[in-house]
Structure 1
Amino acid sequence: TLMRGETTLGGYSPEQRLENRLGELCRACGYDEIITYSFISPTCYDKIRWPKDYFARKSFQILNPLGEDTSIMRTTTLPSMLEILTRNYNYRNKSAQLYELARVYLPGGEDGLANEAKVLTLGAYGEEMDFFALKGVVEAILKDLRVKDVHFAGPTGAPSDASYHPGRCASVWSGSDCIGIFGQIHPLVAQNYGVDAGLYCAELDFDELMNAKGPDPEYVPLPKFPAVTRDIAVVCEEAVTVGALEDAIRRGAKGLLKEVALFDIYRGKGIPEGKKSVAFNLVLRSDERSLTAEEADEDVKSILEALEKDLGAVLR
């Protein structure tokens, strides 16, 4: 009797495909991959300014460590990234752009085991590196993954935020889910590592990226009708974020808005104290016909009404 079997089609799992894509995106942005040990020193938590009572400091101990520097399982990849950045800095490399997709081992897993999570960590320094350069990389990653409802906010207030400069970091969200944090490392942390240059890092949760990832792109034919562009500048309170203004613009549009892009922020002569002028370029288009100027103006009017009603922003 001949044995019978079936050959199944092999392939990558969705998680593996995302891992590969994240690597491709980071390399395309000029970042080189690093691979570090999962073992760190307990003193690392002090160096990154984590509070003594922070639960994530409760690391799993190695029974037979090679030394104090590799005696616990890490609950954050930040010390590993900072060590490599410091090494490059001490070797007098003028700049470095690195990434790592690695596991952390958090307390609170089932049966007393670790809760293993993957984190994408970016790290960089150099003359051309600043908060906005790193933000651009984060935005490029999220755009390629088609993550919906992306917005940026200040630090979440978590104890781990102490590692970052309070005025030069931001959290990134998809809807109500926090994907991660990025920005300049706190100067005291950089000082703890013996670096007097600006260090910039990002920590993005792999599972959150997996959940927020959009569907695969589908073919969309080129538009048959021309677009109409309008520029608007609104005056709003200093505390109102650009993201909030963009959200209000999209809410106020009547289905014709295709693109919205920030192109200017102005403070100074002609603008009241405590306020700012924010200017956007709007692209309007109908999929059914060529728009008239009146139709475009009607959509812009609806957008301006939404801005004033929701945020108190008025046309400049």
Structure 2
Amino acid sequence: VHTRAHIIKIRHAQLLAGAGCTEVVAPPFVGVADLDALGLDADDPLRGALRLENPLSSERPLLATTLAPALLEVAARNVGRGQTAWALSLLAPVFLPGTEPPPAAPIPPVDSRPTDDALVALDAALPAQPRHLAVLCAGDRHPPGWWGPASPSGWADAIAVIRTVAEGLGVVVEPRSAARPPWHPGRCAELLMGGVAIGHAGELHPRVCAGFGVPARTSYAELDLDALLAAAPEVVGAPELSTMPMAKEDVALVVDEGVAAADVAAALRTGAGVLLESLRLFDVYRGDPVPNGKKSLAFALRFRAVDRTLTEDETAAARDAAVAEATTQTGAELRR
């Protein structure tokens, strides 16, 4: 009989494979040079890695606090062998010692089973070891051919893989603009689940790509997989289907450059109410006649009722309520 944890583990592995990722295995060790190559600040918590007393390699004597060096090394090895287009995934624990030094671990006897208290003390001396999921994308997402030119992968693809896995598990993960090494400023997103950050995704900084020997504009995502799986239901509910026709509305909203599209989308969902079936950002425009320092975000809103055909007045009212909420929360103005 499969347990809940086993069922969810199988499901997320299938989702990663379906998203085009090849799973790899890598050792959980890093060196100071690896953390330097990531461009981490001197006081970054990821630098507080535990040092092994008897490491396998003197160059990597630390337990990994991030999966980035291990996955980037695998990618660089593939680049050296002629593989320049890939989507790789790595599922492994990281070792987070925390801000306080751990208690000293007892040395149990060798001639008898450790007592229950000794086992508890041994567990207390271990660092937190959450499992993380990391995804690395580079090269062409679709190769060139008779169907047209190649389609290069980008930072949005790394985010898309994470969202695909999360949605398949029945969990909502929303990206929000952020800035954090090793990602490129302005091309990094914080991954939020229920308003709590569980990871980051985006395009790696050019210096990081050069330092590890991977293609420029390589994209990377890493999140706390244990947190994601803990929020996943054992059975993902099927969507509600309606035989009623869909009503379509598109809106273009002008907002300040610093306003995140995700915040505007969240406000639109709140204002639109229960009739909103889906919402999608399909265009971002900067330039005349949009004023300097602002951008235009175009959203496709799809409305549907389960029991009736919506009237034009009902659809317009839901659209106007959505725009009004976006104006209240983000200062958005309807582009005429």
TM-score for the superposition, normalised by structure 1: 0.87
Secondary structure class of the residue paired with 1:179: strand
* 2:255 and 2:333 in contact (8 A); partners too: yes
Per-residue displacement from partner, 1:6-48 (whole Å, max 9, x unpaired)? xxxx32342x333322221111121111111123333222222
- CA gap 1:57/1:286 in 2 versus in 1, 3 angstroms: same
> Would you say the 8 A contact 1:56–1:107 is kept in 2?
no
Q: Cα deviation per residue 1:245-291 (whole Å; 9 max; x = unaligned)?
A: 11111121242111112222222222222222222222112222221
Find 1:66's aligned residue among 56, 63, 74.
56
Q: Distance in 2 between matches of 1:135 and 1:167?
A: 14
Gaps spanning 5+ residues in structure 2: where? 103-122, 141-151
| CA distance in structure 1 between the partners assigned to 2:216 and 2:174 by the alignment | 28
Paired residues for 1:158-197 under 5 Å: 161-195=180-214, 197=216
1:236-275 correspondence to structure 2 within 5 Å: 236-275=255-294
Asked if 1 retains the 8 angstrom alpha-carbon contact of 2:210 and 2:216, the reply is no
CA RMSD of aligned residues (A): 2.1
Indicate if the aligned counterparts of 2:84 and 2:215 stay in contact, CA closer than 8 A.
Answer: no
Name the CA shift for 1:298/1:99 in 2 (closer, same or farther; >3 Å).
Answer: same
* Aligned counterparts, 1:1-316, within 5 A: 10-14=1-5, 16-108=6-98, 111-127=124-140, 128-148=152-172, 150-155=173-178, 161-195=180-214, 197-214=216-233, 216-219=235-238, 222-316=241-335
Q: How many corresponding residue pairs? A: 301
Instruction: Give the letter aligned to residue 304 of structure 2.
Output: R
Contact in 2 for aligned 1:168/1:183 (Cα 8 Å): yes
Q: How far does residue 221 in structure 1 lie from its aligned partner after superposition?
A: 5.5
Cα distance in 2 for partners of 1:260, 1:207 equals 29
Provide the secondary structure at the position in 2 that maps to 1:116.
coil
Closer, same or farther in 2 for the Cα pair 1:220/1:140, shift >3 Å?
A: closer
SS in 2 for 1:88: helix
Residues 66, 139 of structure 1: CA spacing in aligned structure 2 closer, same or farther, 3 A cutoff? closer
* DSSP 3-state at the match of 1:252: helix
Deviations 1:187-224 (A, max 9, x none): 22222223453322110101221233256233455313
| Distance of 2:219 and 2:280 partners within structure 1 | 26
CA distance in 2, matches of 1:256, 1:13: 33
Identity of aligned residues (%): 30
CA distance in 1, matches of 2:205, 2:318: 44
**Alignment CA distance shift 1:89-1:311 (3 Å):** same
Deviations 1:171-193 (A, max 9, x none): 11012211211112222222222
TM-score (norm 2): 0.82
Sort the Cα spacing of 1:239 and 1:69 in 2 relative to 1 into closer, same or farther, 3 A. same
On the 8 A contact 1:74/1:105 being kept in 2, the answer is yes
Q: Contact between 2:177 and 2:260, CA under 8 Å: does it hold in 1?
A: no
Other structure's SS at 1:244 match: helix
In structure 2, relative to structure 1, the CA distance for the partners of 1:21 and 1:122 (3 Å cut) is same
What's the secondary structure of 2:65's corresponding residue?
coil
